[in-house]
Amino acid sequence: MGEPLMPWQRWVLDVALEIDPSTGHFFYREVRIALPRQQGKTTAVKTRALFQALAWAKQRIVYTAQSRNMARQRLEEDFYDPISASVLAATLARTSGDKPGFRAQAGSEHISFINRSGWWIDAVTKKSGHGPSLDLGLIDEAFAHVDSRIEQAMRPAMMQRPNAQLWVLSTAGDGDSLYWRQKVDDLRDRIASGAESRVAGFEWSADDDADPDDPEVWRSVMPAYGVILRDAIYGPRGEVIEPELVAAGEDLVRAERDSMDEDDFRRAFLNQWVDKKATQGIIAFEPWKACTVPDNDPDVWTGDPLWAIDVSPYRDSVSIAMAGAPALADRRTFAEVVTRLEDTRNAVGTLVKLRTDHGGNIVAVDGTGAAGSLIPDLEEAGFEVIQFGQRDKVAACGSFYDAVYEGSFSHMNDPLLNDAVLSARKRDIGDGAWVFTRRGLNDITPLYAVLLARWAWIKERTDDYDIADSLG
């Protein structure tokens, strides 16, 4: 399109699109890019999506931003308009209207190409990404997502596509950016371990104690520093004009720094998480992560499972979890989320199938919550139902909290459970008692299903626990 790639963009694309010689397909299934604002992220996204759309026929690409309106604006102004004004306009589908290849009807906005590939947008809802097979998922401005629902919706649609990739891109977020914070922390751990991974990660960020007013700090963390003004970058043959670049970069960043609050500048232009305490709920990330079962552990639990089910107040989310005896000698309990459903219609049927496949006939339910309505159907299906009241719910929450911080609990690092645990808050219910509650629209049914399964397992399978230990 007549727009040369900056060095960082070319490097990211070269690495992200590496081929696995044993399969002939992309080596990396996921790409994460953490970088400051105004560094040319949009051009990298556009280039990546165009490559997918034009390299193969009938490709399906889905792009999301912090809102559907923003995604639509970018689809038209940042992606379609430059394509239609370039030599690549010949690759757009021959549709009627003022903008060939662009459909603007609300709910079906997309760019279509002559090879029948399509570039769509989607909103961030529980049903986002559901539908036909997906070849490229682009989650832009990931800091705006409070949980992983968009990723969890996209991944199943990518499973049968050999060259499918998920790209997640953003600058640092704030106290509500739980999804992106977990992605960044996990990326740093992968890099530190040095182990081979199918996740490609790129991060440009300043150290916590970096001077936000030092141009050398800006230069070290902004990959487009000095190459932001395109007219000042390239000569008539595309060569980089170095002297003008540095001055242009410093002037622009200085203007932003002078007009912004220090914390806002650190987040936006140094890619720093300046509000770290706000990103943690009642359970912090570090102790929760320490409870993760090692990736190379093939057997994480033994014996018959004990099931639990929890339903959200509006009945639009149902989580089913199991608990069992942990295989790790230094852990006392193990539990995990088995599945999450979008309504209660097949909840009992799902538990029946799980019982058939894995055994276990006991189901724990919060009798004071929305899942209580399922008790008659569960009993009719032959389950032994353990119905917990408020006192047990308080004890289950306290026991779960204690187990995480003492390191005696184990889990599988499931994004659904991670989101629920790290976003949960404490609600006092009087006399020093408390229970977990959700923040905003966050779904914490995975947390309650797990802690109820764990609590039922302790009461049914162990005889060395004193309820007073968790009531205070």
3-class state of residue 401 by DSSP: helix
Which pLDDT score is estimated for 112?
94
Q: What is the pLDDT of residues 108-120, one digit of tens each?
A: 889 999 999 999 9
Q: Do the bridges between strand 425-430 and strand 433-437 make them parallel or antiparallel, or are there none, so unpaired?
A: antiparallel
Cα–Cα distance, 310 to 347 (Å, whole number): 10
Cα–Cα distance, 299 to 297 (Å, whole number): 6
Cα–Cα distance, 186 to 234 (Å, whole number): 37
The full DSSP string for 385-396 is EEEE-HHHHHHH
Cα–Cα distance, 229 to 254 (Å, whole number): 14
- Is 247's pLDDT higher than 60? no
**Closest by CA position to 334, among listed 370, 376, 303:** 303
Cα–Cα distance, 374 to 376 (Å, whole number): 6
In this prediction, residue 123 has a pLDDT band, given cuts at 50, 70 and 90, of low
Cα–Cα distance, 38 to 370 (Å, whole number): 46
3-class state of residue 182 by DSSP: helix
Altogether, the residues listed in the chain come to a count of: 472
> Phi and psi (nearest 5°) for 25?
-110, 175
Structure tokens at 270: 């140094």
Q: What is the pLDDT of residues 355-401, one digit of tens each?
A: 999 999 999 999 988 999 999 999 999 999 999 999 999 999 999 99
In this prediction, residue 463 has a pLDDT band, given cuts at 50, 70 and 90, of low
- For the chain, what percent of residues have pLDDT higher than 90? 51
Average pLDDT value for the chain: 85
Which pLDDT score is estimated for 429?
84
Q: Are 424 and 436 in contact (CB under 8 A)?
A: yes
Q: Are 63 and 45 in contact (CB under 8 A)?
A: yes
**Closest by CA position to 227, among listed 213, 244, 214, 210:** 244
Q: What is the mean pLDDT of residues 263-283?
A: 77
| Helical pair 7-16 and 41-55, crossing angle rounded to 10 deg | 40
**Which strand (E) or helix (H) includes residue 165?**
strand 165-170
> Phi and psi (nearest 5°) for 251?
-60, -45
Cα–Cα distance, 11 to 156 (Å, whole number): 29
Q: What is the mean pLDDT of residues 52-57?
A: 95
Which pLDDT score is estimated for 297?
56
The full DSSP string for 97-163 is SSSTTEE-STT--EEEBTTS-EEEE--SSTTTT-SS--SEEEE-SGGG-SSSHHHHHHHHHHTT-TT
Cα–Cα distance, 218 to 204 (Å, whole number): 10
**Which strand (E) or helix (H) includes residue 301?**
strand 301-311
Q: How many helices (H) and strands (E) does the chain have?
A: 17, 16
In this prediction, residue 204 has a pLDDT band, given cuts at 50, 70 and 90, of very high
In this prediction, residue 280 has a pLDDT band, given cuts at 50, 70 and 90, of low
- Is 156's pLDDT higher than 60? yes
Q: Do the bridges between strand 384-388 and strand 409-410 make them parallel or antiparallel, or are there none, so unpaired?
A: unpaired
- Is 125's pLDDT higher than 60? no
Cα–Cα distance, 378 to 390 (Å, whole number): 21
Buried b or exposed e, range 393-409, using 16+ CB within 10 angstroms: bbbbbbbbbebbeeeeb
Q: What share of the chain is helix, strand, coil (3-state, %, to 5)?
A: 40, 20, 40
Which pLDDT score is estimated for 319?
96
Q: What is the mean pLDDT of residues 271-298?
A: 75
Q: Do the bridges between strand 301-311 and strand 318-326 make them parallel or antiparallel, or are there none, so unpaired?
A: antiparallel
Which pLDDT score is estimated for 430?
84
Which pLDDT score is estimated for 2?
65
Q: Are 80 and 46 in contact (CB under 8 A)?
A: no
Q: What is the pLDDT of residues 80-99, one digit of tens each?
A: 998 998 899 999 998 777 78
- Please tell me which of 13-22, 175-184, 312-321 the model is most confident about, judged by mean pLDDT: 13-22
Q: Pick 18 or 174 by higher pLDDT.
A: 18
Q: Are 121 and 109 in contact (CB under 8 A)?
A: yes
Q: What is the mean pLDDT of residues 263-272?
A: 90
Q: Cα–Cα–Cα angle for 343, 345, 348, nearest 5°?
A: 110
- For the chain, what percent of residues have pLDDT higher than 70? 87
In this prediction, residue 201 has a pLDDT band, given cuts at 50, 70 and 90, of very high
